[in-house]
């Protein structure tokens, strides 16, 4: 398994994101995707830079691949804000994507064009085109 670092090329809807790498870069249907956010940390007393953290924003899975682009669908499941949740077999709500900072909540993640992405390639799978 190899990791490919790419970028978000477009947010297609609440569950789908396009990336700027495809089969030419080794991306396959079924590959796992992580969209990251970087956080700069500063000392509260001196304001000196302490470094940065790279934290996972959202997990996706590649569902479509062309030569120079791929599309991922949200894989992360939504969190319940209820103590007990009724589940229906075979169906689970997924987190959603927004480009509007005012709509971010526990189950809605802000994704922007240019966000850093890691695609973990399996080396197997099929290319759709």
**Residue-wise pLDDT tens digits, 61-120:** 999 999 999 999 999 988 865 444 445 555 678 899 999 999 999 999 999 999 999 999
Residue at 129 is within a domain: no
- pTM of the predicted model over 0.75: yes
Average pLDDT estimate for 13-22: 97
Residue at 68 is within a domain: yes
Residue at 99 is within a domain: yes
**In the chain, % of residues over pLDDT 90:** 76
At residue 46 the predicted structure's pLDDT band, cuts being 50, 70 and 90, is very high
**What residues make up the domain containing 102?**
2-121
CA distances from 104 to 34, 49, 55, 57, 98 (A): 18, 27, 16, 12, 7
Residue at 17 is within a domain: yes
Residue at 7 is within a domain: yes
CATH number (domain holding residue 112): 2.40.10.410
Cβ pair 20, 10 in contact under 8 A: no
To which residue do tokens 């304001």 refer? Answer: 47
Residue at 126 is within a domain: no
Pairing of strands 116-121, 70-74: unpaired
> What pLDDT score was predicted for residue 125?
53
Number of domains in the chain: 1
């Amino acid at each position: 398994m190899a990791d490919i670092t790419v970028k978000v090329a477009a947010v297609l809807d609440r569950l789908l994101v396009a990336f700027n790498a495809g089969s030419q870069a080794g991306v396959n249907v079924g590959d796992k995707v992580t969209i990251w956010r970087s956080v700069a940390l500063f000392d509260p007393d001196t304001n000196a830079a302490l470094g940065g953290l790279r934290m996972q924003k959202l997990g996706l899975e590649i569902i479509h691949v062309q030569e120079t682009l791929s599309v991922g669908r949200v894989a992360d499941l939504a969190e319940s804000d209820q103590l007990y949740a009724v589940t229906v077999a075979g169906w689970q709500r997924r987190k959603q994507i927004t480009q509007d900072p005012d709509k971010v909540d526990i189950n809605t993640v802000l994704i922007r064009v240019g966000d850093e992405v890691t695609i973990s390639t399996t080396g197997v799978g099929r290319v759709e085109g």
